[in-house]
Amino acid sequence: MSLSNCSLPILGFAAFSGTGKTTLLEKLIPALVEKGIRIAMVKHAHHDFDVDKPGKDSYRLRKAGATQMLISSRYRHALMTETPDDECTLNQLLGQLDQNNADLVLVEGFKHQAFPKIELHRWALEKPWLHPEDPNIVAVACDEPPSSAPSFALSSTSLPRLDINDIGSLVGFIQRWMESHHAQTATCDSLSPTMLSMEDGKSQILAAISVSKNTETCGLNELPNRVFAVDIVAPVNVPSSTNSAMDGYAIRSDDIERETYRLVGEVFAGHHYAEKLSAGECVRIMTGAPVPEGANTVIMREQASNDNGTVSFDTDKGAVRAGQNVRQAGEDLRKGSTVFHAGKRIGAAELGMMASLGFDSAEVFKPIKVALFSTGDEVQAPGIPAKSHCIYDANRYTLRAMLTKLGCEILDFGIIEDTEAALNDTLLAATKQADMVISSGGVSVGDADYIKTVLNQLGDINFWRVNMRPGRPLAFGTLGDKPFFGLPGNPVAVMVTFLQFVEPAIRKMQGDVYWQPETLSAITQERIRSRRGRTEYTRGIYSISTNGQLEVRSTGSQGSGILRSMSEANCLIEVAPNVDNAEVGDRVSIIPLASRL
Ligand code: AMP
Ligand code: MG
């Protein structure tokens, strides 16, 4: 059974009735709360328990047939759901908790379900131990054995043994267990309850990021790749005057039927014809030149013959439409209308339009300053001969390139020695100077590096294990008020987690609110391996087949250290957690990389 609905640590208590579970919890909960641990409880109760009281309005409404009754007041609310046919599973119940507002779920009851539990034991009850039978027990808490207790009954377990009457030692154990909780479940590659889905990871990150408040006015040439901080309103009509779309002859539309016209002048772009055009007259006009007053129709030069100032047109009379070949003033953009909304990223077309409206500058968000460093004693800067057992630092360079592409200002702190002092100093300096801090390496389960210790001291950081490959370990949180990303060490994992988590966060900070990552659908030409329960990113090459279909194949070997696979790829093939391997001919989602790397 999986408890996939819950990403928080879940801890239960296994005991025979009479051991005093609730009494213990009543003492334990305030002690945990005092340590800043927010508790959610799930408790099993007998068949027809009711929290409601007969006669209360909510009770009457339920009895009247409301199968869900949500009652709320200033201090608390409660949802009562009738489940006459089948009891909810623990996993369903966990899904109803507000997991953003708790750190630990304590469970009383559900003893037959598999989740970590502390066994409570009191000798006076003369009951057998439960842990020999229940592999989910992580510690035992018992009282002093009486001197009469037979030695075999003391149990030879290697589980931690706690004093059931010493709440402080129970709290200490639970805190340590919560810390090592990730490490414990990391070895289990299944749908572990502490695994975070890609979607949850992304939405938690985006919820923690706010749009920058720093804006500045920049000249046209500095605008590309910046994001408008304000709406841009057209100060003029585009085109500014009604003008000709062709080289030809302007006439009046009420004068189409005539055989010949008298040529009374000519008008070039950038000039105008000062007189009002009368019936029987025409004006030779160039593309872009303002149409003379009175005229509103242009006939192409190719259809005209000019015999000494007498112009005739070689067209079917019926074929000339009033108003043809004329662009109306304000036809593209009307003065006062919004051209771009704040949040639009500026590319070539936007820049051209700004210029065409006469703007020589615009108010845009300031570049986000990103502090960057690599960790790990084995990591060495390129450019010096390789030391034995060392690898060159690739991550700082892939990250620099991706950050540059996004228009960030980079504060490169280099490779930081794996000591508490060095990491501490770097993180403090980085936090002070930058809007966001990114490190790589040292965040995976079992990493002996100091970065985790230092991050724990300085910030509010979560060490996640995201249900994805590559890139499972990911640290995210805040250092002071600055977002911090601790990316994995593996070079491909760094790039994939950057694309999936860091880029959306940076774009949000930059005010780039309209951005959505591009995904396409392609037919796979080969079997794409993927394990159910996690999102897998295979480096792929997509192309258009001879019959016009998008098709994709992998770049071959997919180790998360094989950076060459990222270089060969033009897309990531994304296989969702609810899908096993994708077979030849299956449709798969692909994320094109061209615009992002
Ligand atoms: P870690 O997450 O620190 O355990 O690192 C995972 C793997 O990535 C190890 O093989 C590291 O040697 C490698 N690695 C860590 N940092 C870098 C880096 N900056 N450049 C290239 N490889 C790295
Ligand atoms: Mg390491």
Same domain, 443 and 355: no
Q: How far is it, in rounded angstroms, from Cα 561 to Cα 506?
A: 25
Residues 504 and 395 in one domain: yes
Q: Is the pLDDT of residue 447 over 80?
A: no
Q: Does 307 have pLDDT greater than 90?
A: yes
Residue 204 lies in a domain: no
Does the pLDDT at position 316 exceed 80? no
pLDDT band at 189 (very low <50, low <70, confident <90, very high): very low
233 and 167 together in one domain: no
pLDDT, residue 45, reads 87
Domain identity same for 184 and 48 = yes
Query: Taking 50 as the threshold, does the pLDDT of residue 342 lie above it?
Result: yes
List the CATH number of the domain containing 323. Answer: 2.170.190.11
Distance from the CA of 376 to the center of ligand 2, in angstroms?
A: 5
Same domain, 348 and 232: yes
Nearest to 563 by CA among 507, 463, 514, 490: 490
Q: Is the CB of 418 under 6 A from ligand 1?
A: no
pLDDT at 158: 79
The reply to whether ligand 1 has any atom less than 6 angstroms from the CB of 441 is: yes
Question: Per the domain annotation, does 206 fall within a domain?
Answer: no
Q: Which of residues 17 and 571 earns the better pLDDT score?
A: 571
460 and 341 part of one domain: no
For residues 294 and 382, membership in a common domain is answered with no
Out of 365, 384, 411, a domain closes at 365
**How confident is the model over 34-48, as a mean pLDDT?**
86
Read off the CATH number of the domain in which 148 is found: 3.40.50.300
Which helix (H) or strand (E) covers residue 182, if one does? helix 167-186
Based on the fold, state whether residues 281 and 404 are members of the same structural domain. no
Q: Are residues 271 and 135 in the same domain?
A: no
Question: What is the model's pLDDT at position 1?
Answer: 46
Residue at 203 is within a domain: no
Strand bridging mode 535-544 / 468-469: parallel
72 and 179 part of one domain: yes
Mean pLDDT across 273-288: 96
Q: Is residue 4 part of a domain?
A: no
> Over 50: is that where the pLDDT of 377 sits?
yes
399, 440, 466, 562, best to mutate for ligand 1 pocket (most atoms within 8 Å of CB)? 440
Compute, in angstroms, the gap from residue 9 CA to the centroid of ligand 1: 28
- Pick the more confident residue, 576 or 561: 576
Residue 350: C-alpha distances to residues 224, 264, 482 (Å): 8, 40, 31
Domain assignment present for 17: yes
In tens, the pLDDT along 237-268 reads 999 999 999 999 999 999 999 999 999 999 99
Q: Tell me the CA distances in angstroms from 168 to 14, 21, 143, 368, 566, one per residue in order.
A: 19, 16, 14, 46, 51
User: How sure is the predictor about 153, in pLDDT bands with cuts at 50, 70 and 90?
Assistant: low
Query: With pLDDT > 90 as the criterion, what percentage of the chain qualifies?
Result: 69
Identify whether 5 is part of a domain.
no
- Of the candidate ranges 22-26, 43-47, 236-240, 248-252, the one whose mean pLDDT is the lowest: 43-47
How many structural domains compose the chain? Answer: 5
- Residue to substitute in 444, 490, 564 for testing ligand 1 pocket (most ligand atoms within 8 angstroms of CB): 490
Q: Is residue 202 part of a domain?
A: no
- Does one domain contain both 109 and 253? no
Percent of the chain with pLDDT over 70: 95
Please compute the mean of the pLDDT values over residues 347-367 and round it to a whole number: 96
Residue 563 sits in a domain of what CATH number?
Answer: 2.40.340.10
CATH number at residue 232: 3.90.105.10
Average pLDDT over every residue of 265-272: 94
Q: How far is the CA of 399 from the centre of ligand 1 (A)?
A: 14
pLDDT at 551 over 90: yes
Residue 442 Cα, ligand 1 centroid: separation in angstroms? 8
Give the pLDDT of residue 50: 86
- pLDDT (mean) for 294-313: 95
Any ligand 1 atom below 6 A from CB of 486: no
**What CATH number corresponds to the domain at position 438?**
3.40.980.10
Q: Average pLDDT for residues 339-350, to the nearest whole number?
A: 97
Query: What spacing in Å lies between the alpha carbon of 449 and ligand 2's midpoint?
Result: 6
pLDDT score, position 191: 31
pLDDT at 187: 36
Query: For residue 229, what are the domain limits?
Result: 216-237+334-365
CB of residue 393 inside a 6 A radius of ligand 1: yes
pLDDT at 150: 66
209 has pLDDT over 50: yes
The mean predicted confidence, pLDDT, of the chain is 90
pLDDT value of residue 155: 62
Average pLDDT over every residue of 382-386 = 92
Burial call 359-383: b when 16+ CB within 10 Å, e when fewer? beebebbbbbbbbbbbbbeebbeee
pLDDT for res 197: 87
- The residue from 509, 532, 564 where one domain ends is 509
Task: With a cut of 80, say whether residue 181 has pLDDT above it.
Answer: no
3-class DSSP string for 200-250: HHHHHHHHHCCCCCCEEEEEHHHCCCCEECCCEECCCCECCCCEECCCEEE
pLDDT above 50: residue 26: yes
Q: Are 81 and 177 members of one domain?
A: yes
> pLDDT for 57-82, tens place per residue?
999 999 999 999 999 998 899 999 98
Of 161, 194, 227, the one marking the end of a domain is 194
pLDDT, position 18: 87
Band of the pLDDT at 317, cuts 50, 70, 90? Answer: low
| Ligand 1 closest atom vs CA 488 | 2
DSSP 342-372: TTPBP-HHHHHHHHHTT-SEEEEEPPPEEEE
* 200 within a domain of the structure (yes/no): no
Q: Are 474 and 464 in contact (CB under 8 A)?
A: yes
